[in-house]
Amino acid sequence: MRPGRPPAATPVRDLHDELEEQVRELDAFAYSVSHDLRAPLRSLEGFSQILLEEHAAGLDDEGRRYLERIRANVERMTEMMDALLELSRAARSQLRRERTDLSALAREVAADLTATDPGRPVRFAVADGLVAPGDPNLIRIVLQNLLGNAYKFTAQRPDALIEVFAERQDGVDVYVVRDNGAGFETRHAHRMFDPFQRLHPASEFEGTGVGLAIVRRIVARHGGQIGATGEPGQGAQVRFSLAPGPAGWELR
């Protein structure tokens, strides 16, 4: 190698850079499409509202029913566009690391969820002393999605319990969100973290199916890993790290 000349990039490094560039392009495309589609969706919502308010008398029951279905689908599409924008922001926002109190964040999120339905009996058990170096804003989004899912999927449990705690695996802090809700079959866990993938029918549990994809991106940006296990009717458990482990380390 000649003095002063930087080493040539290895094929692996070239592939890594190429994949990162493709991911950035896909994120930019998703952001652009999601942003641009909002205007026609707003028009559909506005015109359908006018039809219902000013021309409902000219529609029969079937016509009004079709119009309501149009409005419901517009609302659904708007939620999906918002979810895509949030997914893109999770990958594009500036990452800053600082000492983050996960216990405090989890309790704040739990209080917000409880306030949405004060009469619902849900017990949150958040361990003390959960601290990690990470971006507090992004970690809050992680907890909002994970605790929000746990809150949603325990809706049919009169003894709903949602736990947040940590374990050590090979010297790595692994954070756990566990519930005793609807659960799922663990063999389908890999699908949970792909955008718009659902393990439960929308008629049973609402949502866009993007929340866990956002969580996975945020965890990956911190150098961590994420996984989930569950059992139908017995609850679910999501485990994640927020820092790289030793070489070859994998979350178990």
Domains and CATH numbers, the chain: 11-92 (1.10.287.130), 98-240 (3.30.565.10)
User: Which one is predicted more confidently, 109 or 34?
Assistant: 109
| Least confident range of 35-39, 53-57, 187-191 | 35-39
Per 3-state DSSP, what percentage of the chain is helix, strand, and coil (rounded to 5)?
50, 15, 30
- Flag whether the pTM goes above 0.85: no
User: Which one is predicted more confidently, 161 or 246?
Assistant: 161
**How far does CA 25 lie from the centroid of its chain?**
21
Tokens 């998703």 sit at which residue?
30
Residue 54: pLDDT band by 50, 70, 90 thresholds? confident
H/E element, 42? helix 11-54
Residue at 242: amino acid letter: L
H/E element, 239? strand 235-240
Average pLDDT over residues 63-89: 75
Sign of the CA dihedral running 41, 140, 190, 223: positive
φ, ψ for residue 223 (rounded to 5)?
85, 10
By percentage, how much of the chain surpasses pLDDT 90? 38
Candidates 44, 27, 147, 45; CA nearest to 86 is: 27
Q: Is the pLDDT of residue 37 over 90?
A: no
Distances (CA, A) of 187 to 70, 143, 250: 36, 24, 18
Q: Give the pLDDT of residue 5.
A: 54
Spatial separation of the C-alpha atoms in residues 212 and 226, rounded to whole Å? 10
Q: Is the pLDDT of residue 1 over 50?
A: no
User: Which one is predicted more confidently, 199 or 213?
Assistant: 213
Q: Give the pLDDT of residue 164.
A: 98
Q: Is residue 175 within 8 Å of 238, Cβ to Cβ?
A: no
Spatial separation of the C-alpha atoms in residues 207 and 218, rounded to whole Å? 19
Residue 67: pLDDT band by 50, 70, 90 thresholds? confident
Q: Give the pLDDT of residue 6.
A: 52
